[in-house]
Structure 1
Amino acid sequence: MTDIKFSLLLTTKNRKEDLLFTLHKIGHLLDRPDVEYIICDDGSTDGTSERLTEDFPGLQLFRHEKSKGLIYSRNRLMERAAGEFAISLDDDLHFLTVNPLEEIDTFFNIHPECAVVSFRIYWNTSAPETIMSNHKTERVKSFAGGAHAWRMSAWKTIPDYPDWFVFYGEEDFAAYQLFKKQKQIYYLPSVPVHHRVDLKERKNKKDYRLRLRRSLRSGWYLYFMFYPWLLIPRRLAYSLWIQLRKRTLKGDGKATVAIFQAMGDVILNIPRLLRNSNRMTRQEFEEFSTLAETKLYWTPEDEK
């Protein structure tokens, strides 16, 4: 029996058609003897598990009868991964190249100090006309949550993702922990992926306020957990002012509610934030700040 090298991990909830599309797009990888595919159905009520069992009997599938949240589910997937490398994909995202695993394997082998690689993401409901890119491989601060690969030996050196964040922030949490361990994260543009999402439409969806609340609070949580003490007041005040200027002063009522809810979440969780802190020294923070920003978006227009 061939040893498993790659664990493809995916969590899903009530997005059966998106998930099936993704699986068909990467179906050629599912037949490889060095690949395992593990899916967490986080409380779907649309028949996702039944359809997967019928159409993809070779997958490893586990289900939460009641939703536990994205980050909790990702932790459980990582616990089950048997591969040397664990690849996390969103259920509405697929590779745009035929041989992404070879690119990932080669890069990790050449760069033993690398713990995570983050892929080049095209965000749009339609596929790009070209995937050619001049983007360069470089060390970055963090990675994309649904489009990255872990070296599992590095994952085992840091705490699990904080599942009480629920949604957003787990990537940066891991990035700070890895930096403290002197392990590195790289942007790997040779692995392009298509995230089939219309970003403009997100603002009009029912969960806009909830997403914004969780996004803001996760960033503020991380201040209290990792930033040097003297930097927190100014950074927090500046971040709050930017949100009020961009959203509240422009009449975005939903966003304003989300901002103050997020701040309330921070206040309520201060004891927990302090218990789980792993604070950087001023020198570490300055070194971290010199790294390139996380690469989350790519379009063909970037190349013009």
Structure 2
Amino acid sequence: MEQVTFSILISTKDRRDDLMLTLSKIAPLLSPTVACVVFDDGSTDGTSDAIKAQFPQVVLHRNESSKGYIFCRNTMLNETSATYAVSLDDDAHFLTENPLEAIARHLEKYPQCGLMACRIFWGMEAPDRTESLDKMHRVKGFVGCGHIWRMEAWRNIPNYPEWFEFYGEEMFAALHLFRFGWEIHYVPELLVHHRVDMKARRTMKGFSLRYRRNLRNDWHLYFLFYPWAKIPRRLAYSLWMQTQKIFRGQTMVFKPMFLALADVLFSIPNYRRNRTALTPSQWREFQKLPETKIYWSAEN
């Protein structure tokens, strides 16, 4: 058997139609050296049966009851024998032609690059144009829906923290990569279409839970990585920004903000066990890096 060079990893739950479209886009990339692994986290919509019937070449894992998105990501990354792991959401696919060749070329050229962050277009329909004037450069972090691990770098750092549940685990990994001397490169040559309705996402039923976890996981990162002297001012500024939203009439953020503060208090034992703070000099160097590239617009 040939050594697997690439493994495309996807975690999913109850989004069968999105996943089937993604797998149809990925299928032409698969070969003896390119595997695709899907982790079905307790779906009840027939996802696993659909994969078996339509994509028998896909390696399928399944939790009968949900264990969480981060559990699935950790498991797939820890089990793969591939040299490089391509992580995609179940509603995301490459628009770039021959993406795997571009990935291999970049990671061979830049041995200090531990992770590649893709250019990501968010929207239900593909962009009218795909070319970009963006240049490859080093960044602070990456977006979960489209990135590539050099597996040597993944094995250097701790697993994603399952107690984050979702949101913030990417920056947790990014800060550990920085601590161990690895770089994250934004590579606009790799374009990923993240098929989401942004307006619906802002008004969806789960807004409060998403907002709470996004906010509290930012605060988790302060207590895990920031030098102690930097935390009070950073936390105070974050709280100030939240209260300003409330004063401007965005009262829907009050409850998730209050619950996020409670989450922080209950997470103190986790901070004690897992704190690996940057030194003041490391923190200053990290702050100099360009920000994570989250969205790309065809108008740019």
Q: Report the TM-score range of the alignment, normalised by the length of the smaller protein.
A: over 0.9
**Aligned partner of 1:23: which letter?**
L
1:258 is aligned to 256
2:23 is aligned to 23
Partner Cα distance (2:205, 2:253) in 1: 12
1:245 is aligned to 244
Contact 1:224 1:274 in 2 (8 A): no
Q: Pick from 267, 270, 273 the counterpart of residue 271 of structure 2.
A: 273
SS in 1 for 2:39: strand
Residue correspondence of structure 1 range 100-249 to structure 2 within 5 A? 100-246=99-245, 248-249=246-247
SS in 1 for 2:163: helix
With the length of structure 1 as denominator, give the TM-score of the two structures.
0.97
Which stretch of structure 1 is more off in the superposition, 77-86 or 113-122?
Answer: 77-86
Residue correspondence of structure 1 range 43-122 to structure 2 within 5 A? 43-122=42-121
Unaligned runs of 5+ in 2: none
Partner Cα distance (2:163, 2:237) in 1: 25
SS in 2 for 1:54: helix
2:12 is aligned to 12
The superposition leaves residues 2-30 of structure 1 with CA deviations (integer Å, 9 ceiling, x where unpaired) of: 21000100000000000001111222112
Count of aligned pairs: 300
1:291 is aligned to 289
**Structure 1 residue 98: Cα displacement:** 2.2
Partner Cα distance (1:128, 1:144) in 2: 19
Partner Cα distance (1:84, 1:243) in 2: 42
Partner Cα distance (1:51, 1:236) in 2: 46
Unaligned runs of 5+ in 1: none
**Structure 1 residue 251: Cα displacement:** 2.7
Partner Cα distance (2:65, 2:250) in 1: 33
Partner Cα distance (1:55, 1:82) in 2: 25
The superposition leaves residues 31-57 of structure 1 with CA deviations (integer Å, 9 ceiling, x where unpaired) of: x22101110001111000011111111
Contact 2:118 2:146 in 1 (8 A): yes
With the length of structure 2 as denominator, give the TM-score of the two structures.
0.98
- Runs of 4+ off more than 3 Å: none
The superposition leaves residues 49-88 of structure 1 with CA deviations (integer Å, 9 ceiling, x where unpaired) of: 0111111111110111111111111001112212100010
Partner Cα distance (1:70, 1:120) in 2: 22
**Aligned partner of 1:120: which letter?**
R
**Aligned partner of 1:184: which letter?**
E
Contact 2:145 2:194 in 1 (8 A): no
Which stretch of structure 1 is more off in the superposition, 226-235 or 264-273?
Answer: 264-273
SS in 1 for 2:184: strand
**Structure 1 residue 271: Cα displacement:** 1.9
**Aligned partner of 1:87: which letter?**
V
**Aligned partner of 2:235: which letter?**
L
Contact 1:25 1:94 in 2 (8 A): yes
The superposition leaves residues 83-112 of structure 1 with CA deviations (integer Å, 9 ceiling, x where unpaired) of: 100010000000002200011110000000
The CA RMSD over aligned residues, in Å, is 0.9
